Chains A and B, each alone.
Chain A
Amino acid sequence: DTVMTQSPDSLAVSLGERATINCKSSQSVLYSSNNNNYLAWYQQKQGQPPKLLIYWASTRESGVPDRFSGSGSGTDFTLTISSLQAEDVAVYYCQQYYHTPYTFGQGTKLEIK
């Protein structure tokens, strides 16, 4: 199975500042035949189901604010929130869908400093 490891486990950022969450996969999730990275990011607020933010490592889901962006390739990926808003407090998960079993990172808890 592909193990997804996120860092840090928790993060406190001031409002309006940049937040960066990292995700590392134990195997490459880059499919060479189409040059796509099979990596998604989800946001889960307290008491709610996860919400899809980004897939193909950098494609923003419809309706997701453009302060959220994804980058990276192969085994190393980053979710960046360019200017943190109060409503961004949540746990963020990366997920690989290169092959089954689909696996998630352990989550990064983002709080306001």
Chain B
Amino acid sequence: EVQLVESGGGLVQPGRSLRLSCTASGFTFGDYAMSWVRQAPGKGLEWVSFIRSKASGGTIEYAASVNGRFTISRDDSKNIAYLEMNSLKTEDTAVYYCARDITNWSQGVFDIWGQGTTVTVSS
């Protein structure tokens, strides 16, 4: 079964850090670009970042709202994508979804989603 499972969420104080993980199974992880998409409580969807496959250069992009604070990475040997979040703000509070792109270079179409992990930034 094709599956993505996020972990690492929790309650964290403003200014602190957190690392999210997305563990993939059921497909050749290294063949796909991966993205993180978040959803604030009661709100819509916001794309956060993508990382292309190694075959497509492993290029990375970020939304302006997280650029300079968040870092996406991947370990294809472990089938895991990461999102390192630093200098967290209260507005980063959201459910964070890991999503598989339909291509290896980030088309921007997401066909597989994890169940999400909740990040709450509060003092």
Interface residues of A (CB under 8 A from B): 38, 40, 42, 44, 48-52, 55, 61, 93, 95, 97, 100-107
Contact = CB atoms under 8 A, between A and B. Distances in A.
B109 A104 contact: no
Contacts, number: 51
B47 A105 contact: no
Contacts of A95: 45, 108
Given A49-B113, A50-B37, A50-B110, 13 more contacts: A40-B108, A42-B110, A44-B45, A49-B116, A50-B113, A55-B109, A95-B45, A97-B107, A100-B50, A100-B61, A101-B63, A104-B44, A106-B44
Contact of B108 (A38, A42, A49, A107): A38
Interface residues of B, number: 21
B110 A104 contact: no
A103 B111 contact: no
A35 B107 CA distance: 16
23 contacts: A42-B45, A44-B45, A49-B114, A49-B115, A50-B37, A50-B97, A50-B113, A52-B111, A55-B109, A61-B111, A95-B108, A97-B108, A97-B109, A100-B47, A100-B108, A101-B63, A101-B64, A102-B108, A103-B47, A104-B45, A104-B46, A107-B44, A107-B45
Contacts of A52: 109-111
A29 B13 CA distance: 39
B106 to A, nearest CB: 8
B116 A105 contact: no
Contacts of A101: 47, 63-64
A52 B110 CA distance: 7
A51 B110 CA distance: 8
What 5 A-B pairs are tightest by C-beta distance, nearest first? A97-B108, A49-B113, A102-B47, A104-B45, A55-B109
Nearest to B37: A50
Contacts of B113: 49-51
A102 B38 CA distance: 12
